[in-house]
Structure 1
Amino acid sequence: MRSGRAVAARQWPRISVYVIFGRNPDLEAPITSTATGPALPPLHRLTFAPALPPRPTTLADGTPAWLVTRYHDVRKVLSDPRFTRDDLNAVGSDGRTAEATGNPASIFNLNGADHRRLRLTVQRAFTPRAVESWRPWVAEAVQRAVDDQAAGGSPADLVAAFTRPVPFAVTSRLMALEGVDETRLHRWSLALLAEGDQRNDSVMDEFTSYAADLIARRRRAPGDDLVSSLVRAADEDGGIPETWLVYLVCGLAGSGNESITGALGNAFVHLLGDRPACWPRLADPAVAERATERLLHHIPLGDDDATTRRAVEAVELGGVPIPAGAVVAVSLNSANRDGAVFPDGGLDADLAAPLAAPTLAFSAGPHYCLGAWRIRLEMCEALHRLATALPGLRLADPGAPIDWQLGGTTRSPSHLPVVW
């Protein structure tokens, strides 16, 4: 029998099926995981490189590159097969970035036929139609968290009472996780996303071992959960290494769960901290849906911003010749703030106003975020149902510094005291 236990210890990658950012030194001074709360602005207040034609830059490890920041230029790099992820696992590394792990099992580091094969194993479960079919039980999970928070009374910690329980409930139901509580998955997720000296190999060995056992159980007794579907698709393909499958399950369970927690937490920081008058409007489901898209568009998951590609041949990009072999670093956040495409003022605009163009928050092209529709569904249901139940929700101390959870590709409040 094939078993994920064949995965060698300490060979795991930091992977995510959500947006993964590398560091772009042109964007702003690095923010380290040892910084304290007051030194860190909320993510919606970060500034990024202006949307200008491609220009030379230098990555954190000294690699020469071209910085790409305009919306249409970024879309072209992410979608054009003349720009590839091949041979970029170690480019730009300063010992922190997800792209520097070099582990070929990461879906983000795969390209071409290998990437298509692994992606096809999972993407049918995350189409817009498939995710929409989850709405009844996602709504039920969100409503339980809303009811529990309301019953617990004011004040409360919104992170402990809501932004962690909601994604965990959805992840557990989606993947039929057995014997895993919220605390354990959170610990595994932090290990998965950890950087540099903060990596905990023993915890990751525990996570990959659990994923391998889960895969083996689903192979013996499949169900209607996502892991069973992945195993079935991988076995039908016959060419998916077991290590790839193990790392994919870890990414879906851990990084996906943590990314949604972060997106929700950072959305509440903005809504309750900067725009409290807008909060009751989210009880309207149409407003909540449009606000969800705008929040995801403008609030990044973390401080790091750029993702890299290499030009396999000479390409003209935005009127600038990019030579064959050159590394390009694209800024998704700069592109999402390109005034020529999004002229309405960003988060200062009406939260219910539709975006002028599709967001690049989830990347584009072959590496478009697999979990984009899941995060949209969960955030929309969360905002709508919580605003309906608690229209008077507000920060307990609007001027208090935020206690940030640091040390990975995401940054989010570790506590968010609220009253109503």
Structure 2
Amino acid sequence: MHALPFDAPGPPRPTRLPDGSPAWLVSRYPDVRQVLSDPRFGRARLYGDEAPALFDAPDLVNNPDLMFNQDGRDHMMLRRTLRRAFTPRVVARWRPWITEIVKQLLHEMACRPQPADVVESFTFPLPVAVISRLMGLDPSVRHRLRHWAEHAFSDGSHDEKQVEDALRDFSAFGSAILDERRRTPGDDLISGIVRAADEEGGLPEAQLVSLVCGLVVGGHDSTMTMLGNGLLYLLGERPETWHRLGTDEEAAGTVADRLIHLVPLGDDRGSARRASEQVVIGGVTIPAGAVVLADCAMANRDPDVFPTRLHDGLFTPLEAPTLSFGAGAHYCLGTWLARAELQIALHHLAARFPGLRLAEPTRSVTWRTGSTSRSPRSLAVTW
């Protein structure tokens, strides 16, 4: 498996950004939680005129208009447009139709010749179908989502003009669909955003467009990544657990939580923040203006908090809340949806195909890489 190396968590220490600028690496669980929850560490400050150049290529993640890159009042205004959209109670009501989508995809997969590509037949179309239903997207748009996602989370293989053109086209799509839902609102998520934005008032249109675009691509890319990586680990390294996933849905939920916790979405090793003033973290003084990289993946492996390793405790509930979804004001709104999709997908895939196995060695897997995600580009399976 294409595993990433992790050092043991320790006190905050100086490090370097890709352009050579100085920064601080924070890696222990309580220290990372403090950085992510303390308003003195902000995202918007990363984009100030005097901030170091953290990013050398355009992408959606580093758009200053994105909700994740807002702080304080601006961030909360945007967040309130979604405050009722992804609660555990709401997601629980979605589980029946998500399950139906899963079963239909598995039926279609069973009709394919073997070996079949589980990415093409399942891990990609599932989250695309879910986010498309939630946002009321026309089926004709779905094939464009992969193109937009590849450029929105570019791995550097696309030249700057390609990325800019794709993001411009994507923003035009976001703007057009907002206009359409203002004219003819429905019961979909985008219509709900429009209504909430009207009630809130004062939200810049560019931020609403970025919100919609971020939900469209982020809502499927992260789930596809988690599911693909999880299947590679389970089928490649833990095939003895597969039968239990298909017979015990609650156990599948526990496994989903463990996979989310310990299998990183991508190679990006730190959620960046910038200090507005001098702050003491873990006994170390972080100066005002410093860039801090809060390494959630290292913190999720802090042995003082999580003594159970993935191999030993796949079916063991987490000892503390995972940081894979962040913490504090920027805690991921899609947490409950992602967990539900992964649990339902693993359970029903294992139940429908109890003999599912890889049709190629893990070392031959080709990888799809991006600025925030990394997963198998294809994964041949048989049953």
Provide the TM-score with structure 2 as the length reference.
0.93
Any idea what SS the aligned residue of 1:344 has?
A: coil
Q: Confirm whether residue 63 of structure 1 aligns to residue 21 of structure 2.
A: yes
**1:214 alignment partner AA:** I
Q: Output the CA distance in 2 between the equivalents of 1:269 and 1:342.
A: 23
Q: Confirm whether residue 95 of structure 1 aligns to residue 56 of structure 2.
A: yes
Q: Confirm whether residue 164 of structure 1 aligns to residue 124 of structure 2.
A: yes
- Range moving further from structure 2, 381-390 or 114-123: 114-123
Distance 1:366 1:310, change over 3 A: same
Conserved? CA contact 2:120–2:378, under 8 Å: yes
Question: In the alignment, which residue of structure 2 is the partner of 1:290?
Answer: 254
**1:308 alignment partner AA:** A
Distance 1:181 1:94, change over 3 A: closer
Question: In the alignment, which residue of structure 2 is the partner of 1:48?
Answer: 6
- Deviations, residues 301-326 of structure 1 (Å, cap 9, x unaligned): 11111112222232221122223333
Conserved? CA contact 1:395–1:419, under 8 Å: yes
Q: Output the CA distance in 2 between the equivalents of 1:398 and 1:179.
A: 35
Question: In the alignment, which residue of structure 1 is the partner of 2:322?
Answer: 359
Distance 1:418 1:217, change over 3 A: same
> Among residues 239, 253, 271, which one is paired with 2:202 in the alignment?
239
Q: Confirm whether residue 398 of structure 1 aligns to residue 361 of structure 2.
A: yes
**2:46 alignment partner AA:** L
Offset at residue 414 of structure 1 (A): 1.2
Conserved? CA contact 1:70–1:334, under 8 Å: yes
Q: Confirm whether residue 205 of structure 1 aligns to residue 168 of structure 2.
A: yes
- Range moving further from structure 2, 45-54 or 383-392: 45-54
Question: In the alignment, which residue of structure 1 is the partner of 2:265?
Answer: 301
Q: Output the CA distance in 2 between the equivalents of 1:311 and 1:189.
A: 30
Conserved? CA contact 1:83–1:310, under 8 Å: yes
Conserved? CA contact 1:92–1:100, under 8 Å: no
Offset at residue 383 of structure 1 (A): 0.2
Q: Output the CA distance in 2 between the equivalents of 1:96 and 1:148.
A: 39
Offset at residue 406 of structure 1 (A): 2.4
Question: In the alignment, which residue of structure 1 is the partner of 2:98?
Answer: 138
Q: Output the CA distance in 1 between the equivalents of 2:174 and 2:58.
A: 24
Runs of 4+ in 1 over 4 A off after TM superposition: 96-100
Question: In the alignment, which residue of structure 2 is the partner of 1:34?
Answer: none
Q: Output the CA distance in 2 between the equivalents of 1:93 and 1:312.
A: 17
**2:265 alignment partner AA:** L
Offset at residue 62 of structure 1 (A): 2.4
Question: In the alignment, which residue of structure 1 is the partner of 2:346?
Answer: 383
- Deviations, residues 98-123 of structure 1 (Å, cap 9, x unaligned): 6984x431112111100110111123
Conserved? CA contact 1:296–1:361, under 8 Å: yes
Offset at residue 196 of structure 1 (A): 4.7
Q: Confirm whether residue 340 of structure 1 aligns to residue 304 of structure 2.
A: yes
Aligned-pair RMSD on alpha carbons? Answer: 1.8
Q: Output the CA distance in 2 between the equivalents of 1:220 and 1:237.
A: 18
Conserved? CA contact 2:58–2:163, under 8 Å: no
Q: Output the CA distance in 2 between the equivalents of 1:99 and 1:71.
A: 28
Offset at residue 67 of structure 1 (A): 1.1
Question: In the alignment, which residue of structure 2 is the partner of 1:254?
Answer: 217
Q: Which runs of 5+ in 2 are unaligned?
A: none
Distance 1:179 1:216, change over 3 A: farther
Offset at residue 399 of structure 1 (A): 4.7
Distance 1:83 1:400, change over 3 A: closer
Offset at residue 350 of structure 1 (A): 2.9
Question: In the alignment, which residue of structure 2 is the partner of 1:349?
Answer: 312
> Among residues 67, 81, 85, which one is paired with 2:39 in the alignment?
81
Offset at residue 408 of structure 1 (A): 3.4
> Among residues 220, 224, 235, which one is paired with 1:272 in the alignment?
235
Q: Confirm whether residue 188 of structure 1 aligns to residue 148 of structure 2.
A: yes
**1:111 alignment partner AA:** D
- Deviations, residues 300-356 of structure 1 (Å, cap 9, x unaligned): 1111111122222322211222233332211000000001111112x2123111111
Question: In the alignment, which residue of structure 2 is the partner of 1:328?
Answer: 292
Any idea what SS the aligned residue of 2:280 has?
A: strand
- Deviations, residues 43-84 of structure 1 (Å, cap 9, x unaligned): xx2112321011112222222222100000100110012222
Q: Output the CA distance in 2 between the equivalents of 1:190 and 1:318.
A: 38
Question: In the alignment, which residue of structure 2 is the partner of 1:104?
Answer: 64
Any idea what SS the aligned residue of 2:56 has?
A: coil
**2:212 alignment partner AA:** V
Same amino acid, percent of matched pairs: 49
Q: Confirm whether residue 122 of structure 1 aligns to residue 82 of structure 2.
A: yes
Offset at residue 152 of structure 1 (A): 2.4
Distance 1:384 1:95, change over 3 A: same
Q: Output the CA distance in 2 between the equivalents of 1:51 and 1:272.
A: 29
Q: Output the CA distance in 2 between the equivalents of 1:292 and 1:258.
A: 17
Any idea what SS the aligned residue of 2:82 has?
A: helix
**1:391 alignment partner AA:** P
Conserved? CA contact 2:60–2:167, under 8 Å: no
- Range moving further from structure 2, 91-100 or 372-381: 91-100
Offset at residue 179 of structure 1 (A): 4.7
**2:114 alignment partner AA:** S
